């Protein structure tokens, strides 16, 4: 099931909004050189490719769009990145297909305006190892942003945090991303070790 208002613009326009390398660094997406990551909605690979250069762990890049997955596979091959496992997957309806407690980090970027964000966050919680982390970014709730979902479905930071906590995560920190992308906010949460 494709999330509401989830279409992608032209790739160069999309990439102009982010310093993706900065974002994956600021949000500790690969704290070690061997961390495995699941990315919900990999799109053009904007964040996938910089992250794959930072870790030798597997990056499970999931997207519902077959053509975007094909493009990402080509980009990974062209860049000599063998640790990207790009999969065409309806993770909203079917989950990730990954086993429980399988990855170190989950990336949930620009997607929590979907119809049932808590379900997606519960799936992220399920596949994370205890003490694993999740990074969230989304468009600021500001009509001046050049893109993003309608304001009436665009979540504010406190809403994303509340949803993530309802899914079982513990809040670690808000992350100022203004140096990386002026139209977005970010946060980092963790799956408690005891879960």
Say if CB 24 and CB 51 are below 8 A apart.
yes
pLDDT at residue 7 greater than cutoff 70: no
The chain-wide mean pLDDT, for the chain, equals 93
Higher pLDDT, 34 or 188: 188
Q: How would DSSP label each residue in 5-52?
A: T-----HHHHHTT--HHHHHHHTTTTSSTT--EEEE--TTTTTHHHHH
Average pLDDT estimate for 150-166? 96
- In the prediction, which pLDDT does 33 show? 86
pLDDT at residue 136 greater than cutoff 70: yes
- In the prediction, which pLDDT does 99 show? 98
**CA dihedral angle for residue 155, residue 187, residue 158, residue 60, rounded to 10 degrees:** 50
| Placement of tokens 């596949």 in the chain | 127
Residues β-bridged to residue 188: 135, 173
DSSP annotation of 22: H
pLDDT at residue 184 greater than cutoff 60: yes
pLDDT digits (tens, 9 = 90+) for 52-62: 999 999 999 99
pLDDT at residue 102 greater than cutoff 60: yes
pLDDT at residue 133 greater than cutoff 70: yes
Say if CB 89 and CB 62 are below 8 A apart.
yes
Residues β-bridged to residue 22: none
pLDDT digits (tens, 9 = 90+) for 62-75: 999 999 999 999 99
- In the prediction, which pLDDT does 1 show? 54
Please give the Cα distance from 81 to 185 (Å, whole number): 28
> Hey, which bits of 43-95 come out as E strands?
59-63, 84-88
Of 83, 81, 70, residue with least CA distance to 37 = 83
Beta strand 84-88 with 103-109 is unpaired
């Amino acid at each position: 099931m494709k999330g509401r208002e989830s279409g992608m613009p032209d790739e160069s326009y999309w990439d102009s909004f982010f310093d993706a390398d900065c974002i994956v660094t600021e949000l500790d997406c690969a704290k070690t050189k061997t961390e495995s990551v699941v990315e919900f909605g990999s799109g053009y690979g904007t964040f996938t490719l910089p992250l794959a250069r930072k870790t030798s762990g597997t990056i499970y890049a999931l997207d519902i769009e077959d053509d975007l997955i094909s493009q990402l596979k080509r980009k990974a091959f062209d860049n000599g990145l063998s640790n990207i496992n790009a999969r065409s997957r309806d993770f909203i309806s079917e989950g990730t297909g990954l086993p429980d407690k399988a990855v170190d980090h989950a990336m949930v970027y620009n997607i929590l305006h979907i119809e049932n964000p808590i379900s997606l966050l519960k799936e992220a919680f399920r596949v994370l190892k205890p003490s694993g982390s999740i990074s969230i970014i989304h468009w600021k709730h500001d009509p001046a942003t050049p893109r993003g979902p309608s304001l009436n479905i665009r979540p504010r930071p406190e809403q994303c945090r509340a949803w993530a906590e309802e899914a079982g995560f513990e809040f670690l920190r808000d992350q100022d991303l203004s140096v990386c992308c002026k139209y977005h906010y970010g946060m980092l949460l963790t799956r408690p070790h005891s879960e």
